Structure 1
Amino acid sequence: MSGDGGTGHQDAGVVQAQAVLSYFVRELTHAGTVRLAAPDGDGGWVNEYPPPVRRLDVVEPGRPVAVHLYARRRGVRRCVLPLGDFDASRATADQARADAEEYAAALEAEGIAPVPAASGGGGTHVWSGCTEGFTLRTAQRIARAAKRLWVTFDGSPLTNPQYGAGRPPGAPHRKGGHSRLTRHTIEEAVSLLGPRSARAEAYERLAVRLEAMAAARPALLQDGAEEETDPAADDHQEQAAEAGTVPRSILERGPVVRELVTDAHGHLRLNVRWRPLGDAALKGLCRRLLRWVDHDVQVHAVLRSMALAGWTHAEAFAVVRDAESSPALEWLRTRRTSADGPREPRTKDQTRALFDRKWRHACQDAARMPRRPEDDADRPPTGEVAAAVLDLMARMRAAGTARWARQSGPADAALLMALCWLMLVSGTTDVSADVRRLGVLAGYTPQTANTGLHRLIRDGWIAVTAEAERRAGRARRVTFATRHECTGHKRHVCAIYDATSQVTTGATGSDRSENAAPPPSLAPPVTDLPAYLRAVVTRQQADVWHEIGHHAARTLQAVTTARHPLSIPALLLATGYRRATVLKHVTTLESLGLVSTGRTRAGHLRVRAGQGSLYEAAEATGTAGRMARIAVDARVDHHCHLWQLAEEEWSALSHAEKCERGRRRGPDQMVLPGMSPTARAYPRHPHPRTGTPEAGPMDHARAARIEAERINAPALLANALRLAKAGALIDPVRLTAEEPPAEPAQPRVRAVLPARQACPLCAADPGHPCVTSRGERAAGWHAARRQAARAALGTTTTPAAERAARPPRHRPPQHHTTVPAPRQHQRHVPAAPATTAGQLPLLGQEDPARHTDG
């Protein structure tokens, strides 16, 4: 730190700083206000925000100071001291000096005198003056163009009208050194920044010149870098020129797959059926964003969800105006004026203009996203979907138990139940059959799910409506089939399309006492269908079946769905297995506590559901957590697949196109919020012959490790294990790394205590329990006393609250020596009050001595 404020000695840098600042004290309305540095706990210097403001005469010499770049002119903040700040931390000191010289040449070309100075930290400051001041819009145009031209240019001070400031020549730096003039003397600098400063028109011409230079040299941006958006950027950013354009990031998503129309007011909207926002969109809308979160990205995601749901411009803007219901859209209503300072509200016109632009971008982006079942206007209603699901379940029952008791039967039935669940959740019978997701829902690996899906298509249970597109990252779409062509495969079994055609099964035998009861009905009521399917899918994806077999799951399902204990012949009829197989399943399930057995008086065996859970049974067999890991692996594989597709697209580009796009980031580089994770280079092995790193075949194992770390796979696994332990459904696409919110504690309801009132029946004082005619403590409060308490407080108590307020029924031991009066005198003697030893702990208990008798 240059300068010593303790001895009064001032070096040349501090003298120059005070000389320059004294000019601002005399000439500018905002003069004499400087930003000071405050000492931290280690004795260093850190900047305070908002900055403390001091007069120049009270500034301690040797302290880092900065002058404001804006002043009030005719009631409006105008830039009077434009600063070109070229920071060496963005490149090198030589690059910063070269950029500063080019900027100074542009100033001189428009008749503006530049005053360059070395910042003291390796960078360069180019000062200029405008005593009349120019508008914030002009300053923002200059800053945007300069940032495109020179990578070392820092436009934050120039575009911050409230707190924008810079260290003048001579001011010390908080890390050492001081700013010094490199071309002019202190007198020349004061003159050029004051009386001889340029007019506002010169800076208008400077903005035009820099914009033309930036348009002629667009390749000067760093490779892979995007143009920065200033927090205090003007809302009116060439709206007319931007109205008919689409950002490049949206164009790269692909062609338009949804129809875009305009409403009566000319605003864009998607031609889809209106629907309410989903859970994820509502959660994002109600999220309170922190200051370091990219608000622009979050606002775009929320508005895109509204556009996908068929909302209009007016409906979305009504949500923006409601600040309480849309905390995530605060960026549209207020603007950030500093890194840590408060946000200032935007005007109504500014909010409307900014929202119009973001809504156009959201509609254009939503129109290019992959289609979903919700976007199909001709999709069947939810009632028809439920009817189709119930019809499939009836046809599965009509196919007979032998169809599902064969070796591949449990896998086929589990996949059909998983498809039914997806159809019921999505509200359409045309769903995406992703084998990774289907495998988790069915309780199998993706390979087994893929084989079973082909088998169901071959047998005619489902039909393919759209083939998979690997390049686009889309799985095949399937629906219920109504017909099929038989194949010559030896394991082919035709599907059933008529639920009334029952398949005759062989005789299963019966008990001596009674015939076997028929199996329970498979079709639940429509109102119970979602809960039924959720229970079926949750049961079939349990980990214990990987040890004892999925055929045992069918036996357990038959037992749990029955309304009474089943006999062995009834289980044979319900499952289609042989007697030895059923007995083996029952023995295994009983050892795990999933079923219990008993015998009737005639000695017949009966099987009923047990008290054990599937997760405890999986822990006993050592398979707990297997489906949770498969679900997390499915998420990781999905992200790796998208990354691989982006790598294949990059590899197909020509050398000229790759040079135009610039160098990509490395595979191990962190993905910041708002950046695309697929923009990084895919990890590769070293070249097999030359050994060049990242030049050989794709390293899929390394890519999986990188993506697992990026999406926080351990947290996803913990959430999946928590769901499995709680007996909940595990869906890979719905897994989240966030901790579940803690359930709020139930507020304790305070009962209205009758003891706070005198009893009109036994004349017990407040604070004393009721007594009987014998002077003994009553078993509870008298009804007259409870009624008096309710009338006094103007409230009514629930029976539970009254029971909570009553004293215990068991008489506690009495430690007082009060002797009841003789029987013949009790009706004439008042009841003796109980002592404190027999009282209840009452809230707000009153002193009995304050009350008089009767």
Structure 2
Amino acid sequence: MSPDPWTSWELTRRLSPRGQVRVMKRDAYGRLDENSYPSFYSVGPTSPTTPWCIRLADDAGVFRVLCFDFDGKDKHGVDADLMERAVDDCDALSGMLAQLAIAHVVCQSSGTGGRHIWLAIRGGASAASVATLARAARANFRTLDHGMMLNVAQGAARPPLSPHRDGSSSIVLRGSVDALTVPSTTTADLAALTVLLDENAPALRAQDTAPSGPVDVRHKAHRPLSAAGTAHMATIDGGANPSWTGFMCLLAAANAGWQLRDVEHAVKTVPGMEHYRTKNTGRGGRRLRNAREAQERLERQWAKAQQFAAVQRPLPASREPVDLTELDGIVSSVDALLTRFQASPGRWGRTEAALSQRTILTALAYLTLQTGKRTVAASIRDLALMGGLGRTTAADALKALATAGLIGRMTVSADGNAAEWRLTTEFSTGHGTVRSQPLNNPRPPSELFSARAALAAALEEQLVDQRHDLFSRAGLGHLAGTLYALLRTHPSVTIVSAARLLGVTTRHTTTVLSRLRHHRLIIKHAEGWARSKRDLRDHAARVLGVSGVLVDRAERYRLEREVWAWWQAELGRMHTVPRKRPRRLHVTSRTLAITDSTPGERSWPLYPRIGVGRANHREARVWAGNGMLAPDSLWWSSVA
């Protein structure tokens, strides 16, 4: 704890850029239940009787102090996973500040364990430069509440040493408040911090981001991983942000097809998974977790990583955008699309078909943002799996969206290549947003990439939340999944507000809420209904007998693709001059292998036939399902 002799109110009087602070107001029973500061109190000799906060900017709109607020709470209160992530994020930003020799103060904001990092700016900083810094910081740290630094008029925070409504106070953990009372940070320091944050910002696909610390090159994973995943696994002590590194390890493992037992084996020794062995004490050290806590945390995070991996699986290889003007138009179009979803919920939720169209459009927008191209190749089956739909439902949705002029099919599927789709420019809010003339330059790259990352994260979270076995047609239905996803961004909903968000009747909404409540996915809230703290979707899916539906569907689509590729190879062989045809034995006569004659081509056995010489697609499907087409298959037929 800092030895500074300041009292909380004296420090507030010294730091406050304005002549008034905002204070809490007691209710009729004398309690402070609401975390709001509706009243004003003059900065004078006597301190308020209730907690207060200071605004960060002065009356002229110049920021005099900055507060980075790392919050480990959700709508239900303190979340243990989020709180540890917030502490790690705070430590990582503090390390960046120390690297740039920027004086700062780290505080534990209350007894719940949240973190504040305070800076004082010599001469002040403009709202535009602070907003750029705030967005860059948010792109790096997902637990950062950066809204106060975007609100020049009313952005405020409780200062160091000030009381909290739960009876605790803000405690200085590192640094001296003299760094705030005698500012040394300049606008040049803030610009350097913004540049450093931009350089360290996670890639659009977070698992492709460079490790957050030094890597142990001697470490080898016991199962194959991508290059980025291998680097995250080998990050010594989890790097600068162990909780983030740990989840990147799980995400890389999920993308590589690992099972839970593989992750449990790796967590014992893998350097990058330090977060699942020890926890941040909040005082600069770590301590061992008890076995039960570690196992439960690992299982929760592994389930989450699998959900994200399922949505990200159809993504093509990442590439850097070459035309920022086009990317600016894409970001604007997707932003306008999300606005349209909110402004016209009835168009996108009144019927099951409209709801499916919204999901497919969301998936296409997500692919467009990820690739940075207006035209994206996407198969019907991939889009269906991303949205938790069936392939025929996805095909109908694509056809309806194209008829409505919301998307355009640029090329049809041919030669094993998926059809290409393009979002129309109808969603754009301005004229000529994708023109390349100098009069229509895109926004600055750092701001553009931050906006792109924020939109991609919002779309990804929406797809992940509603893509679950429970929300399939045989379960609670797609509308229930959409409402469950909406509860991520809305702390609570009433029947009326939920009906308005979904665009359906209150009677239909009541039915959906009742089903979610029956399976304890939502709980009663002071202002309606909110998500339950525990994610019980897996349990509810098992109760309804739909557990594994999406995995089975994905496997079925994989087999369909394999049999189709086999049949296309057979057609090619049939239309080849006999003397040029390769010799292909029966599927049961040998072990199959990949030929090296032509890179990328696969050696297929003869296609099964019925008595009259016609193709036997049913038997081909059986062979594919039994694994007999795998290049390393050792099967000998018992069914041929």
TM-score bucket of the superposed structures, by smaller chain: 0.3 to 0.5
Structure showing greater Rg = 1
The answer to which structure, 1 or 2, has the higher relative contact order (CA under 8 A, 6+ apart) is 2
TM-score (norm 1): 0.32
